[in-house]
Structure 1
Amino acid sequence: MKKQWLLAGMLLISSFGMAQQKPNIVLILADDLGYGDLGAYGQQKIKTPNIDRLARNGMRFTSFYAGTSVCAPSRSSLMTGQHTGHTYVRGNKEIQPEGQEPLADSVQTLAQLLKAAGYATGAFGKWGLGMVGTSGAPDRKGFDTFFGYNCQRQSHRYYPTHLWSNEQKIILEGNDLTHKAEYAPELIQEQALAFIDKNKNKPFFLFIPTVLPHAELQGPEDEFYRQYENSFEEKPHRGNGYGPGATVGGYASVEKPRATFAAMVARMDAQVGQIIDRLTKLGLMDNTLIIFTSDNGPHKEGGADPAFFNSSGGFRGVKRDLYEGGIRTPFIVQWKGKVKAGTTSAFAGAFWDILPTLTDITGAEKARYTDGVSFLPTLTGKGKQLQHDYLYWEFHEDGGRQAVRMGNWKGVRQQVKKNADGPVELYNLAKDPKEQQNVAAANPAIVKKMQQYMAEAHVESPIFPLTGAR
């Protein structure tokens, strides 16, 4: 009997030890941050020392892509491991009075897989994939804890009337059309840090889909704003099209939009630094994988000026475009002892690769279906890295768009809803990374292959129709 108890104890210790070896995962998703908005990617006007430190201590990817060029479908791609020809949510379809089209009960998410593998799971920021009480609510898609904006339409305001804590509506009494008392990004950050404290003794998945630096341009006139207040020539901006309160006097966005944008990026960077500091203080950095990226390219709403800041990093296009500036995103991974510091990767990957990579790393059950490949071999330098035959994107607004990247070739089709078999623009990214020269006429065989991939990758959705019956 003693021998049996001793053996059971040894197994328990062994099991506990293995459980503790599972890395914590912190996935930070900026909102509308361009490829060129970080110092690590060439930004000259805004300082981002904390995110740049992640890049120095980890791996910086130069050819990584968002799910698509607008919020909800890009996040759906990330959560489901599927590109926008397959993922459930493919557009910003609004539900009144609050929320967006919810993920269906049948949809499997990254958070659900990690939770089943023993992870504490928390999301703090903007969700946009299903209102409270629907099949797509965060607590029904694998998150133990959610705090922030459930509805991305509500997240246009940084001084909102309410936020959500799981199913509880948190009223922010001090915020109305004439007062700005409680700045939502700060409230959300407090809850994210508390999640780390609460779960420091168990493996956790911390998802931070921050609203910064999404429009509207707005924030307190504090040290972040004062740092840039007199740094740029400014044209006063009156109103930003985001509803009541947008033009109320006293908002930084009304007077100096460039300084306000820079301050929002600086605040986001400082919050990343706070997360790193908290992990370090608790002795968790040695066993924590941190990913930083953005949901799509830079926006132009609310007085934002991506041309001035070179937010697209020299690439063509911005948010809502399927040119490189709309979908190529900063992507940084730090994982001490596993990812070599100061490295750069040209691996051509996208949001749908994140799910299979993290299930591979954690030993979680693999997804029932994914369009992604694990890029763990790229991170660790061990094993053979699978490569995509092609990457595919859809955009369902402005007449509909499709895009394919195949090696160094990039194909873009416009006005898909009018003509599902319309002409395909073709660019050679190796020779023409800014997509200035359409070489379709000189490369009919490549164009034909692009057309085949566009037809193959797209499965028509009754909720988000794009091409209709072919």
Structure 2
Amino acid sequence: QTARQRRLRDALMPLIYSVRLPLSAVAFVLTALLLISGSPLSAAECTPDNRAAQRPNIIMILCDDLGWGDLGIHGHPIIRTPHIDGLARDGLRFTDFYSAAPVCSPSRVGLMTGRSPNRAGVYDWIPPAGKPRSDAREQVHMRREEVTIPQLLKQAGYATCMAGKWHCNSAFNSPEQPQPGDAGFDHWLATQNNAGPSHENPVNYVRNGEEVGRIEGYSCQIAATEVITWVGQHRDAHPEQPFFAYLAFHEPHEPVASPPELVEMYRPHCISDDQAQFFANVHNVDLAVGKVVDALQELKVRDNTLIVFSADNGPETLNRYRTANRSWGVTSHLRGMKLHTHDGGFHVAGIMNWPNHIEAGQVCQQPASALDLLPTFAELAGAELTDGRRFDGISLAEFFQSKQFPERSQPLVWVYYNAINDARVAMRFGPWKVLARLGGGTVPKYENLTPQSLAQVSASPLTDFEVYRVDRDPGETMNLSGHDDPAVQEICERLRSEYQQLVKDFPAWTPTVAP
């Protein structure tokens, strides 16, 4: 199709679906209009089977604070995750998959936009809006001008839904800032941050702008049921229209609460009740994933649904604060935890499953990222990225067909000014991982950037490099920065260059109160 034809198709799809035309009529109308607009589609391109094969339903499942080592497929000795493991065994598993940040809000904004969250002005987790602060943190949100996955897919004719944790703004369910609906979701059931008061019987869900009060059950099951119900209703009303669902579990982020029968099952294998609570929490997530997969089968949409499973960042450190008393997540062989710029902070699960399109048992050892999901989904959906915006990911769609991983010409770069470890900047490029401090450690930690702090971090040089060959040393134990190796010097210079270019795009938030 020409660009003109694609634009016409994308404009017409929502109208066609709104009047519930049968699939044969959809094909006829599109063919006729595209013939008028220019060169025609072939008959093969208009057949229902080809259209279904080219435009999958997509379900993005995101866990909260799930460690790399918390899944059975990654070797956890106790936690049972057969449904998630099954998605991996029957599909594609990434050994080196990365989230967009080592903490929740920027990670989610990066996933939604396909861009470094720093370009969107989201530098750390977003607290609920409150009194004005000297660092303007109460203002932070994913700005309206950002282009998101659901917006792109809606333009391509998809229906969209989300359920679970939003955490992309401070003024939640308020006209002051964009909400999930403004970001492109037709239907949403969400919380600003954590499920409260815990995962059990949460009281803070909002559905399409309306507070719903206490909901009986556990958050992951509630969110899964919402998506299943929506998919079923959508299939009945618009059986030919593809859909995108974003299922953002709160689990296993604290405050952890799990079904008693699962806790009891794990208690004999644990050193404490708190540990059993966490293990049961991950198990409950697995049950929710299994429930979704089973429902897709029952609704007869599983075969053309791409399921992607990942996490927003690494696991919380046990007892780092009071309510982290049940945070027993592990990173396995990886160094660091959530809030770290070593791999334990953002090296997360990456699983893709699409029957008849992704062969079972595939393992990809090339670095991939949540930033790749927007361009991947856009290509599969036939959506165009045409506004000249800089995206930081690459499309993985060709891997599904050729099994050849697309070349990544640009490295993955993370900038987190509130990291627990000393390095504020990190980069993965090929087999190399390189980290650096800012200004010899003289730059303070920042949770947000104002014009003043942005000027400081922009002017501060990168120092104290750490360099690792993570293909040989995934635990980042052997720092090669002192080696007289041209490749080491080259990768350090590359990080300097990438950081200098990236920081030029960082927006600042202007405080309304004096420091």
TM-score bracket, normalised by the shorter chain, equals: 0.7 to 0.9
Equivalences for residues 274-423 of structure 1 within 5 A:
274-301=291-318, 302-304=324-326, 306=328, 311-366=330-385, 368=387, 369=389, 370-381=391-402, 385-398=406-419, 401-414=424-437, 417-418=443-444, 419-423=460-464
Q: 1:100: how far off?
A: 7.3
Q: 1:97: how far off?
A: 4.7
Q: 1:94: how far off?
A: 2.3
Q: Distance in 2 between matches of 1:194 and 1:77?
A: 28
* Aligned with residue 220 of structure 2, among 185, 196, 210: 185
Contact 1:69–1:295 (Cα < 8 Å) also in 2: yes
* Aligned with residue 205 of structure 2, among 163, 169, 179: 163
Tell whether 2:45 aligns with 1:45.
no
Q: Distance in 2 between matches of 1:129 and 1:86?
A: 14
* Cα 1:367–1:160 shift into 2, 3 Å: farther
Q: Distance in 2 between matches of 1:46 and 1:325?
A: 19
* Cα 1:48–1:444 shift into 2, 3 Å: same
Tell whether 2:271 aligns with 1:233.
yes
Amino acid at match of 1:198: Q
Q: 1:8: how far off?
A: 8.0
Tell whether 2:140 aligns with 1:117.
no
SS in 2 for 1:89: coil
Q: Distance in 1 between matches of 2:306 and 2:219?
A: 26
Matched residue, 2:9: none
Deviating runs (4+, > 4 A) in structure 1? 7-10, 13-16, 18-21, 97-100, 153-156
Q: Distance in 1 between matches of 2:274 and 2:228?
A: 29
Matched residue, 1:224: 262
Consecutive unaligned residues of structure 2, counting only runs of 5 or more, are 1-23, 32-45, 132-137, 319-323, 445-459, 511-515
SS in 2 for 1:279: helix
| Deviation by residue 1:340-393 (Cα, 9 ceiling, x = unmatched) | 111100121111110000111110122632111101122222677222331101
SS in 2 for 1:123: strand
Equivalences for residues 246-261 of structure 1 within 5 A:
256-261=273-278
Amino acid at match of 2:111: L
Q: Distance in 2 between matches of 1:260 and 1:100?
A: 35
* Cα 1:287–1:445 shift into 2, 3 Å: closer
Q: Distance in 2 between matches of 1:257 and 1:232?
A: 9
Single out whichever of 451-460 and 372-381 deviates more from structure 2: 451-460
Q: 1:209: how far off?
A: 0.7
Matched positions, count? 426
Q: Distance in 2 between matches of 1:186 and 1:81?
A: 28
Q: Distance in 1 between matches of 2:127 and 2:365?
A: 36
Q: 1:110: how far off?
A: 0.7
* Cα 1:277–1:421 shift into 2, 3 Å: same
SS in 2 for 1:140: coil
SS in 1 for 2:117: coil
Choose between structure 1 and 2: higher helix proportion. 2
Amino acid at match of 1:344: V
Matched residue, 1:71: 104
SS in 1 for 2:164: strand
Q: Distance in 1 between matches of 2:506 and 2:80?
A: 42
* Cα 1:203–1:411 shift into 2, 3 Å: same
Q: Distance in 1 between matches of 2:165 and 2:317?
A: 19
* Aligned with residue 433 of structure 1, among 437, 454, 474: 474
Q: Distance in 2 between matches of 1:142 and 1:168?
A: 17
Q: CA RMSD in A?
A: 2.5
Matched residue, 2:184: 142
Matched residue, 1:199: 234
Contact 1:375–1:386 (Cα < 8 Å) also in 2: no
Identity percentage of aligned residues = 29
SS in 2 for 1:212: coil
Q: 1:404: how far off?
A: 0.6
Contact 1:34–1:312 (Cα < 8 Å) also in 2: yes
Consecutive unaligned residues of structure 1, counting only runs of 5 or more, are 1-6, 175-180, 235-255, 466-470
Q: Distance in 2 between matches of 1:144 and 1:16?
A: 27
* Cα 1:116–1:428 shift into 2, 3 Å: same
Q: 1:464: how far off?
A: 6.4
Task: Report the TM-score, using the length of structure 1 for normalisation.
Answer: 0.84
Contact 1:85–1:392 (Cα < 8 Å) also in 2: no
Q: 1:135: how far off?
A: 3.6
Q: 1:93: how far off?
A: 3.3
Q: Distance in 2 between matches of 1:156 and 1:321?
A: 27
Q: Distance in 2 between matches of 1:188 and 1:412?
A: 37
Q: 1:312: how far off?
A: 0.6
* Cα 1:352–1:34 shift into 2, 3 Å: same
Q: 1:305: how far off?
A: 5.2
Q: Distance in 2 between matches of 1:267 and 1:137?
A: 28
Contact 1:84–1:392 (Cα < 8 Å) also in 2: no
Q: 1:288: how far off?
A: 0.6
Contact 2:396–2:405 (Cα < 8 Å) also in 1: no
Amino acid at match of 1:266: H
